[in-house]
Amino acid sequence: MINYISEVFRVRYNETDQMGFAHHSNYLNYFEMARIEWFNKIGFSYAALERQGIVMPVVSVQINFKSPAFFDDPLTIKLFVNEIPKASIKIDYIIMNALKKEIANGTTTLAFVNIEINKPVRCPQKLLDIIESLW
């Protein structure tokens, strides 16, 4: 199992709704931010992967909201990978506030797709090697 804790980020004013809560639609952006940050930290470039013709569309999402986040709340995201990726990678997340209270949790599954033929492919070997070395 792999786990990673994101850098602290703050809920921006434009991410809040009329009730003052971080709007639910932002949580997918928070997941993506943590995922790309983790890729960068482990030495895997999503941008380089795209230049090689492989994209990673999100094919499944689940989010459970536990407690609201508010404007300027400092948040962190715990990211977990519990399975070696094959043609997709499943990532679990827990969003926590500064008091370590769980704000939300969820899962995304991303497929590896060859953009030229628009077909799924196996996990790129470079990413697989990195993940296996962290296991």
- What contacts 85, CB < 8 A, 6 or more positions away? 112, 123, 127, 128, 131
pLDDT, one tens digit per residue, over 85-113 is 999 999 999 999 999 999 999 999 999 99
Q: Which CATH number fits domain 2-134: 3.30.70.100, 3.10.129.10, 3.40.50.720, 3.50.50.60?
A: 3.10.129.10
Average pLDDT over every residue of 52-76: 97
Which class for 107: exposed (0-12), middle (13-18), buried (19 or more C-beta within 10 A)? middle
Higher-confidence residue: 135 or 101?
A: 101
Residue 26's pLDDT band (cuts 50, 70, 90): very high
Residue type, 52: Q
pLDDT, one tens digit per residue, over 29-53 is 999 999 999 999 999 999 999 999 9
